[in-house]
Amino acid sequence: MARFHWTIENVLKNLLRVFLVLLPWQTIVMTRESFLNGVKWEYGTLGFYGSEILLWITFFVFIGWIFQKSKSRKVKGKSFFTTDRIFLFFTLLFVLWGFASIIWAPDKDLALQHALHIMEAVILFLIVLVGPLSFRQSGYWFVLGAVPVAILAIPQFIFQTTWASKWLGLSSHVSWLPGASIVSSDSIGRLLRSYGSFSHPNVFGGYMAMVFVWLIALFSIRVFGKKYKYLFQYILSTFIILGLFLSFSRSALCASMFLLFVMILYSIYNRKGFFRSSSFWYIILLFVSLGMIFSPILETRFSVSSRSEVTSFVERTSSAAESWNMFQNNTWTGVGAGNYTLALYQKDSSRPGWEYQPVHNVGLLVGAEMGLVGLGLLSLSVLSCLVFLSSSVEKTKKKKDWLIDNMSFVFVVVMFSFFYLILAFFDHYLFSSYVGLMMTGVYWGLSCRFILADVHR
């Protein structure tokens, strides 16, 4: 057995591995617990997550690693305005705008915390993108970290209850109690959706969907197959896909079905490698089989016939109208980072406390909280990232043939982007919560690293 060498790079690698595994566990030390109309105000809670503390330790080691690398590398003269620096510049401006929103936010402590979480998501993105762990290694630990969460979801669905644990960040939910996230109809009764280790099944579903993306990506480059052959791939696929289904998250299932559809089309075009393996077709078969087994529940979730789903649809529609109205009233600056639900309460304080929730659309939420300036800076950051990625892809001499010669690049970028947009279009947790922002940081860090590593060709 090889001995561990205490170099700054090895320490950074192990810290990042531990963070990726512990990411789904929501252990938190609360410093402020707030209530709106007698109901706990989840989005007004202040505190420090266990993984958040680990992230900052990782960040400081990362800074030391960067300085060490820069000293050992000979710096050649190059233009100051490179595509990577422009991308970093616009991203930094977006982060600073979040902190600037503290000035006009009604709850300045809450705005500070949310702006800090945005900055932490950017930090995590950069560590995954340029850190010492390769795409294969980062993806490997991200996927393995989801296995205990998926296993936990199985007894939650079987026994129709979750169990509280302050050390693991778990809360208690029972199917027959109000406030629990359920699927309900006359034919199936009340069924509790699995929470995993998260605060809501939708967050759990989004996390499992992202893991599903990298499960397929790692299988396609044979990260697991070389060492463990196909048996481990079958077991891993079963737990991840079962966890995804037990969340019964519509956005997560739609995003995953979109990914599978694209993969099937690609397998028809590229009849080699992973797309001819039994692992790929096992995933397809498992997805179809679970869809048939849970068809009564899925039919209820995707229809608007049951009372709970009709209520959900009406609430989401009215919430979108409220967010647009809020954006119009605070067009340029927004209401402040993390202050959306408080702004709703200040506008109308007569509603039940549980109704004050962020709009279920990341774009509308960013617009309402960060204003047109924040939306513009975020758009510039995304566009400059695309320019940075495309400039890193080998160019051909004939500019008119760039699209044809780089179809693989275009295909992967579009696939990753549409997958994320499906999740972001139907829910808010990717921007409204700490864990959602961390998921965003990891997802895009892995995506960009995947493209830059050129492993898809």
Is 4 within a domain? no
DSSP assignment of 22-67 equals: HTT---EEEEE--EETTEE-GGG-EEEEHHHHHHHHHHHHHHHHHH
Q: Tokens in use for 364?
A: 């509308």
Is 31 within a domain? no
Is 2 within a domain? no
Q: Tokens in use for 150?
A: 């998926």
Sign of the Cα pseudo-torsion (345, 349, 353, 354, in order)? negative
The burial class, CB within 10 Å (0-12 / 13-18 / 19+), for 79 is exposed
CA atoms of 327 and 367, how far apart (whole Å): 6
Residues 6+ apart with CB under 8 A from 438: 23, 51, 55, 120, 121, 124
Longest dimension (CA), the chain: 71
CA atoms of 32 and 113, how far apart (whole Å): 12
Q: Residue 243 has what pLDDT?
A: 95
Q: Residue 2 has what pLDDT?
A: 57
**pLDDT by residue, tens only, the chain of 457 residues:** 456 677 899 999 999 999 999 999 989 999 998 888 888 888 999 999 999 999 999 999 999 999 888 776 655 555 667 888 999 999 999 999 999 999 999 999 999 999 999 999 999 999 999 999 988 899 999 999 999 999 999 999 999 999 989 888 888 889 887 778 888 877 888 899 999 999 999 999 999 999 999 988 888 776 665 555 677 888 899 999 999 999 999 999 999 999 888 888 777 766 665 666 677 888 889 999 999 999 999 988 887 666 666 677 777 888 888 999 999 999 999 999 999 999 999 998 888 888 899 999 999 999 999 999 999 999 999 999 998 888 876 654 444 444 445 567 778 888 899 999 999 999 999 999 999 999 999 999 999 998 887 544 4
Residue 231: CB atoms within 10 Å: 9
How long, in residues, is the chain? 457
CA atoms of 394 and 387, how far apart (whole Å): 13
Is 43 within a domain? no
Is 362 within a domain? yes
Q: Residue 451 has what pLDDT?
A: 85
CA atoms of 454 and 440, how far apart (whole Å): 21
β-strand partners of 49: 28
Is 113 within a domain? yes
Q: Is the distance from CB of 445 to CB of 451 less than 8 angstroms?
A: no
Crossing angle of helices 50-72 and 434-453, in 10° steps, is 30
Is 62 within a domain? no
Give me the half-sphere count of Cα atoms (radius 13 Å) on the Cβ side of residue 199.
11
Residue 182, domain extent: 82-453
Is 59 within a domain? no
Structural domain count, the chain: 1
What phi and psi values does residue 125 have, to the nearest 5 degrees?
-55, -45
Q: Residue 417 has what pLDDT?
A: 92
Q: Is the distance from CB of 417 to CB of 99 less than 8 angstroms?
A: no
Q: Is the distance from CB of 202 to CB of 429 less than 8 angstroms?
A: yes
